[in-house]
Amino acid sequence: MSEFWINLLAALAKMGIMISIVMGLATLLTWVERKQSAIMQDRLGANRADIFGFRIIGLFHPFADAIKMITKEDFVPPFSDRLLHTLAPVIAFSTALMVFAVIPLGPSVVIAGHRITGQIANINIGLLYIFAFGGLAVYSAVIAGWSSNNKYTLLGAVRASAQMISYEVCLGLSLIGAIMIYGTYDLTNMVAQGQSGYILGWIPRWGLFLQPLAALLFLPAAIAENKRIPFDLPECESEILGFFTEYSGLRAGMFMFAEFIELIAVAALFSVVFLGGWLVPYLTWGADGANIPWCAFQFPWGGMWYIEMWVGKALEFGALFFKIAFMIYFMILIRWTLPRFRYDQVMKLGWKYLLPLAMLNLLVTGVVLVVM
């Protein structure tokens, strides 16, 4: 089989695996968010859905939600733009899903003598790709609010566009600091450079330790970009005022599902850029004099612990999954802990505090790189 067909089959397989993982995890998060809020508020949470009388701590609720969304009346307001009204949730869903084309969800593996990377599209401008397609999400909010022909949804659309554009600036500047440190836009290369030694002999060279301020700025900017509490002014579910108020049925479900997909994307991007991706601290790969590969934990205080190759790969895939799961848990924790900001506070935080700090971080990073 030619190299072209091997690469094509590998790309199709990675697309299937990626979509299955993301869609499955996003479905599970609809239950996780309710269950985590219940635990924090000392109550049972979602636990009533059952199949033939069987209940598993509420795990059937996502299936019940899916059935409800699919069978619910799909109402389109009169005098609205039907084409744009239908197109808006498609844009929100597809742009959130397309970001995963360049996010590496694991190390490369060798199958039948061919090295398969953990990315669907192994391009050297991965972060620019994420900026491009991630920035398109604002169009879905604006189109949804305007096409509904409702002054309240239009107000939600204006809020969404102002907030998302404002925090995109801080989000981009926080990642530029990482680009300056690593010298590349390629997410795989960023992770690979984390293996180039340790800070002070024992701290991993992850973005969190090389760019701590950028990491702290990235999180609130990403949450605001995702329009989650405490930055959910464009939706305001408790006030019944948002850009998709006039949506129902499966189209409303696509907006909600896109939010969970974006949550996974933010967690994955933070894990890759700032938490070393799939890297496990002190796990080393190499080859001996006979060119025989080996895998071991090489500790900075001395000593080495050899492990099986497949165990090392499993640890790397597991490490990335653990980091993504932890970041999702942390963002859901924020969602059920902090109250909503006023809109003027959202704008003030973005322009008067986060943006100057992001520019200061770039200035300090540039000076350090020039001096060193």
What's the CA gap between 308 and 290, in Å, rounded? Answer: 18
Lowest mean pLDDT among 49-58, 165-174, 258-267: 49-58
pLDDT at 265: 93
Dihedral sign from CA coordinates of 77, 78, 80, 86:
positive
Please, which residues have CB within 8 angstroms of residue 205's CB and are 6 or more apart in sequence?
Answer: 193, 194, 195, 196, 197, 198, 199
Three-state secondary structure call for residue 241: coil
Please, which residues have CB within 8 angstroms of residue 200's CB and are 6 or more apart in sequence?
Answer: none
User: 334-339 long-range CB contacts below 8 Å, 24 or more apart?
Assistant: 334/223, 334/228, 334/229, 334/230, 335/33, 335/228, 335/229, 336/36, 336/37, 336/40, 336/41, 336/229, 337/40, 338/229, 338/230, 339/229, 339/230
pLDDT > 70: percent of the chain: 96
* pLDDT-based confidence at residue 173 (cuts at 50, 70, 90): very high
Query: What is the number of alpha carbons within 13 Å of residue 334 lying toward its C-beta?
Result: 19
Q: What is the pLDDT of residues 306-328, one digit of tens each?
A: 888 888 888 988 999 999 999 99
Q: What proportions of the chain, in percent to the nearest 5, are helix, strand and coil?
A: 60, 5, 30
Three-state secondary structure call for residue 274: helix
Three-state secondary structure call for residue 117: coil
Judge whether residue 151 has pLDDT over 70.
Answer: yes
C-alpha 346 chain-centroid distance: 21
* pLDDT-based confidence at residue 290 (cuts at 50, 70, 90): low
Three-state secondary structure call for residue 51: strand
Radius of gyration of the chain (CA): 22
Judge whether residue 231 has pLDDT over 90.
Answer: no
Please, which residues have CB within 8 angstroms of residue 98's CB and are 6 or more apart in sequence?
Answer: 133
Q: Between these two residues, 48 and 130, which has the higher pLDDT value? A: 130
pLDDT at 328: 94
Q: What is the pLDDT of residues 72-85, one digit of tens each?
A: 888 888 888 889 99
* pLDDT-based confidence at residue 116 (cuts at 50, 70, 90): confident
Mean pLDDT estimate for the chain: 86
* Residue from 324, 277, 333, 272 nearest 37 by CA: 333
Please, which residues have CB within 8 angstroms of residue 309's CB and are 6 or more apart in sequence?
Answer: 293, 294, 295
pLDDT at 270: 94
Lowest mean pLDDT among 251-265, 279-293, 318-332: 279-293
Q: What is the pLDDT of residues 331-344, one digit of tens each?
A: 999 988 888 888 88
Dihedral sign from CA coordinates of 288, 292, 293, 297:
negative
**Are residues 285 and 323 in contact, defined by beta-carbon separation less than 8 angstroms?**
no
Q: What is the pLDDT of residues 187-206, one digit of tens each?
A: 888 888 887 778 887 888 89
**Are residues 220 and 270 in contact, defined by beta-carbon separation less than 8 angstroms?**
no
* pLDDT-based confidence at residue 1 (cuts at 50, 70, 90): low
* pLDDT-based confidence at residue 364 (cuts at 50, 70, 90): very high
pLDDT at 271: 93
pLDDT at 341: 86
Q: Please state the length of the chain.
A: 372
pLDDT at 322: 93
pLDDT at 143: 93
What's the CA gap between 90 and 257, in Å, rounded? Answer: 11
* pLDDT-based confidence at residue 289 (cuts at 50, 70, 90): low
pLDDT at 50: 80
Q: Which two tokens stand for residue 279?
A: 């890297």
What's the CA gap between 59 and 65, in Å, rounded? Answer: 11
Lowest mean pLDDT among 82-91, 257-266, 294-303, 344-353: 294-303
